[in-house]
Amino acid sequence: MTPEPVLGIDLGTTTTIVSVVRDGVPEVIPVEDGTRLLIPSVVHFDESGVPVLIGTEAKKQRIFHPARTVSSIKRIIGRTFSHPDTEVAILRFPFKIAEGNNDSIVVSLGEKNYSPQEVSSFVIKKAMEYAARHLGVAATRAVITVPANFNEAQRRATQNAGKLAGLDVLRIVNEPTAAALAYGFGSTANEKVAVYDLGGGTFDMTILETRNHVLDVLSTGGNSFLGGDDMDNAVLEYLVYDVEKKFGIRVMDHPALLNTLATQTEQIKIALTERDRVKVILRNLIPGQKTAVDYSIDLSRDRFDQLIAPVVQKTFEICDRTLEEAHLKAKDINAVILVGGATKVPLVEREVIRYFGKEPCAGIKTETVVSMGAAILANSFDQTYHDDSPVLLDVTPLALGVGTVGDHIEVIIDKNETLPVERTNIFTNAVDNQESVKVRIYQGEGNKKSESLLMGEMTLSQLRKLPRGMLRIEVRFELDTNGVLHVNAVDKETNRRQHIELNILGLGMEDQELRMIIEELGADEPQAG
């Protein structure tokens, strides 16, 4: 009996790719009409809020029904509604973003609301359908990739998107690590590899050391709100400026005009990736007193490069920090891997070559390399262990700690620690007979609340009533291989586990089974100290 295949899914901001390993060879599964490899991560809903189109056909609806066509949802998956990036998304996205429970985000479509992970699950389901059609058998297990800098809530939300689609998610793996795996690094001599991953909505920079089938991540950095979409927005701002200058109108007062301009920016970017100059002509676009008039503009690649230069520059500021954290310089890197569709932009590739002083690896399309690496990892889970099975040693993308007095955070787990990792901390009662303790958990780059993200709150309850400072609760924080947090606590005097509630902000009721960790053991069940 042929074993059920295990999928590798790159759930991207702009596109989603699914791969599988057959007969020891990774292959990207054809989708839609059988000639494409990329599924646009776009879902179109009908007037009643039911998802009716997914992929290319849904993407076409952005012009006609922008408020009911959801794209780039990865930019806000696992985000809190109060996060500053959500404010930017509300201004940029044509569909309505609203506040859900627990500071979560929902996409509002008429009378229906969907969480970002629910929207993502529709895309994953469609990818599974294409895989079943191609393979002749349904696949219900997968490895899903995420940006290396995704935080706790974003990783949990991605896991849950897979579960909502009916998948058994074997592993959440960082996109840069998957890319290195696809290129076969680790099977050769010791090398230091830089993965420059610029996708539609996110940027990651990861430094790995590879040896004897081990891929050891030394450092990682990134921005989950920086990517090709920002290049599109830079072009859009220029088009808006040009229209207002030529026609003396305020584009923001004409939503249909703004939307049409916005839908052209990606095509302009693609055209200027392949050509030195492009002329854009949009018929009957500009509203006039009697009839609408045409709009045209000539754009050169040089002008495009000027517009997107600030976006590209931000990526190299992250590269600087990531190399510094690995205690390396650009000249120490043996190989460079480009990942993501935005790395096709000539300016990006030129700047990467200038920065590292070498040509990037070639042979695999930048859009498909992550999915192929995920499939290779997925396949290794399905095989009997052998000496050349890949070993991935990923790291914590952000430091994790608990809030203390003022702006200070007591860091429990440092950034760039190898996963899995666990640390313990002792908590006590601040007042006499205190029955519960609330602890705020933060993730960030350092030890200040003002520079970190409030991840959520942990509550220790049903505590023994004792005088102030006499209770000693040992709390163990564990980040697993997926980078997902697990918490356990034990009363040091009685060796009994405590009741814990872990609330991760940004995750709504549909994530309840993921965000609640409640352990209640009977009074006669001692635990090892």
Q: Is 197 a catalytic residue?
A: yes
Tokens of residue 215, six digits: 């891929």
Element (H, E) at 295: strand 293-300
Q: Is 407 a catalytic residue?
A: no
Q: Is 359 a catalytic residue?
A: no
Sequential DSSP letters for 203-258: EEEEEEEEETTEEEEEEEEEETT-SHHHHHHHHHHHHHHHHHHHH---GGG-HHHH
Tokens of residue 515, six digits: 């965000």
Pairing of strands 452-461, 437-444: antiparallel
**In a 10 Å sphere around its CB, with 0-12 CB exposed, 13-18 middle and 19+ buried, how is residue 142 labelled?**
buried
Angle between helix axes 255-274 and 56-64 (nearest 10 degrees) is 140
Give me the catalytic one of 103, 152, 175, 204: 175
Residues linked to residue 174 through DSSP beta bridges, in sequence order: 146
Give me the catalytic one of 103, 118, 152, 197: 197
Cα–Cα dist 49/350, whole Å: 44
Beta carbons of 380 and 150 less than 8 angstroms apart:
no
DSSP state of 289: S
Instruction: Using alpha carbons, select from 148, 26, 2 the residue that is nearest to residue 18.
Output: 26
Task: Tell me if the bond preceding 420 is cis, omega within 30° of 0.
Answer: yes
Residues linked to residue 235 through DSSP beta bridges, in sequence order: none
Cα–Cα dist 448/460, whole Å: 23
Cα–Cα dist 157/47, whole Å: 26
Q: Is 74 a catalytic residue?
A: yes
Q: CA torsion 56→58→62→65, rounded to 10°?
A: 160
Cα–Cα dist 428/141, whole Å: 43
Cα–Cα dist 262/210, whole Å: 42
> How many angstroms from the chain centroid is the CA of residue 282?
34
Residues 6+ apart with CB under 8 A from 160: 117, 507, 510, 511, 514
Residues linked to residue 99 through DSSP beta bridges, in sequence order: 105
Q: What b-and-e string marks burial along 438-463, b requiring 16 or more CB atoms within 10 Å of the CB?
A: ebebbbbeebebeebbbbbebebeeb
Active-site positions? 10, 74, 175, 197
